[in-house]
Chain A
Amino acid sequence: MSLTTDRLEMGPVAGSASAHSGTALADPSAPLSGVPYAGLPDPGLPAPRPRIGLATRRSRRDRLAELAAQKTAAGAGWAIVVILAGVLVFLLVQGWPALAAGADDLPAHASDFWTLAGPLAFGSLWASALALSLAAPIAIAVALAITQYAPRRLRTALGGAIDLLAAVPSVVYGLWGLMTVAPLLARVYPWLTAHLGWLPFFAGQPSASGRTILTAAIILALMVVPIMAAVCREVFVRAPASSAEAAYALGATRWETIRLAVLPFARSGIISGAMLGLGRALGETMAVAMVLSPTPFLVTFHLVESSNPNTVAAFIAQTFPEAHGLETSALIALGLILFALTFAVNAAARRVAARAAGK
């Protein structure tokens, strides 16, 4: 049994260890470092049991296992680094040739790569901005309702329902948007052009199918709300309770308390959540690819016409299955642009969040 053998091993190891230390202090009553020490009364007990052999007690296998575990964990860390570097390298290598390609080789017969990429990048940014401007107020209202207004029991249910929005697969959003929402909105759009047509956004001939960029943006907004609401909920909860109490103690109403003691602390959190939502909207593919009926190379701010700009992600998904050769390269290069865009947006979100956390 291990517990009894422990005491039997001694000898050479102990000798080497104490020789190494070189400072064996035999006399406990010797004063050290100038500290006065008067010595202890002898408790009158027999000498303690010897316990020696620090250097070799654990089996070599156990120590190797410990080392192996550490190396494995660090290896996983390195693997993440390698994988991300790989993503960048492979996309660059495969996408690079497209930058020099001409009209015969590019998708949609674009005259050069940037003619193709420019309008698509515009479409992505425009659709995401629209989606965000719809989603942001809803997300903030939802987060306020959950953290400030709802009774405790309703909070979990409400939060769960909002999280459900995030769980619905994007292809299902696409199907629903295309088959249910678009026909519904097609009946609203003529009314919009008739009454709000003086606004440039709603000018032009309204789409009969309803598959416009506004429809796509509404679907995107539904997908963005849960993400932004989650971030907002977190920062609203984190607002110091003492400030809210101070505001209440001064006679503020609930809304005044929120405005004075919750929102100011949450401002950067809200911005960071909005950016994360923007990143999600930029990268969203299927819902847009299915809902939107695009026109190549179009750049327009009109929201409800039947000709609409396309987004980068949707264009890739629509074109890739039939693409080959340099067309594929062009799509990969477009993917790289999308990656760069979302990375920039997410990095900005992180910066804002970090600044909020640091203050």
Chain B
Amino acid sequence: MSELAITGFSASYGSFRAVADVGLTIAARAVTAFIGPSGCGKSTLLRSINRLHETVPGATVSGTVTLGGEDLYGRAVDPVEVRRRVGMVFQRPNPFPGLSIRDNVLAGVKLRRHRLAKAAADNLVEVSLRAANLWDEVKDRLGKSGTSLSGGQQQRLCIARAIAVEPAVLLMDEPCSALDPLSTLAIEDLMASLRQDYTVVIVTHNMQQAARISDATAFFSTDGPRQPGRLIEYGPTTTIFSRPAEQATADYIAGRFG
């Protein structure tokens, strides 16, 4: 039900077209990786899925993105609600400064002014932090500032924060690129378990990472600088990495460009 279908999709910043004519279906409860050289529009496409792209001045989109059959860009659809259903984790961990670990997890719920009984809040904090593999590390210091954690812990806190509003989809924009190898490993482990509940889409520059954690891989590329990014090839990760159909995919995976 919470599969994502993207059809005939283009996204632009002003007159610059970042992504052109992309179509793919992202399976529910699986990890899908977007790979490709810098500037190929994969991050823009990711940010279009939760309609964060349009918050940039001058940004426009065309085409459709559906989640479980519903058009996310439909006229009656509230973009704020889309973002609530499609959570996002950013490249750099960005917990709210000044908020405790607990309050960071509850931020999404509290900011929406949902009233939550203490017990329910406690439960939500624990469930979310457990789901983010962070509970055991922080359960004794939930009142401490979120920014006091290490980078990897902060990133998992951000994942917990995203999970706490119960999204159907989790978008991750190079979530490990600012982290050390050990923290990266922790996040990758986490993604394997997140797959059981969420539709996970991850943008990564690290092809080993894509090969390790994803079920399906989409390869994007451009014809050159200032050219729009296009979807070149999409399929099960094993196929993309062992028997790519396109020469460009093979070249990129072999490290010949990008």
Contact = CB atoms under 8 A, between A and B. Distances in A.
Q: A contacts B directly in the complex (CB < 8 Å)?
A: yes
A21 to B, nearest CB: 3
A21 B74 contact: yes
Contacts, number: 146
A1 to B, nearest CB: 5
B153 interface: no
Contacts of B231: 33, 35
A48 B166 contact: no
B234 A17 contact: no
A55 B112 CA distance: 16
Contacts of B18: none
A1 B25 contact: no
Interface in A15-36: 16-18, 20-21, 23-25, 28, 30, 32-33, 35-36
Contact of A20 (B67, B74, B235): B74
Contact of B168 (A21, A30, A48): A48
Given A41-B215, A48-B2, A48-B29, A54 B24 contact: no
B236 interface: yes
Contacts of B54: none
B174 interface: no
A33 B24 CA distance: 8
Contacts of A63: 78, 80
B185 interface: no
B75 A20 contact: yes
A39 B7 CA distance: 17
Interface in A44-86: 45, 47-52, 54-55, 57-58, 62-63, 66
A40 interface: yes
B76 A55 contact: yes
A14 interface: yes
B209 interface: no
Contacts of B25: 25, 28, 30, 32, 37
Q: Which range contains the number of A residues in contact with the other chain?
A: 35 or more
Contact of A1 (B29, B69, B113, B120): B120
B29 A52 contact: no
Contact of B114 (A2, A14, A33, A38): A2
B30 interface: yes
Contacts of A41: 215, 236
Contacts of A17: 69-71, 74, 76-77
B70 A36 contact: no
B3 A58 contact: no
Given A33-B21, A54-B70, A55-B76, A28 B235 contact: no
B68 A39 contact: no
B74 A23 contact: no
B24 A57 contact: no
A52 B125 CA distance: 24
Nearest to B9: A33
Given A30-B25, A32-B24, A40-B30, A3 B166 contact: yes
B70 A66 contact: no
7 contacts: A23-B64, A28-B5, A33-B21, A47-B1, A49-B1, A51-B85, A63-B80
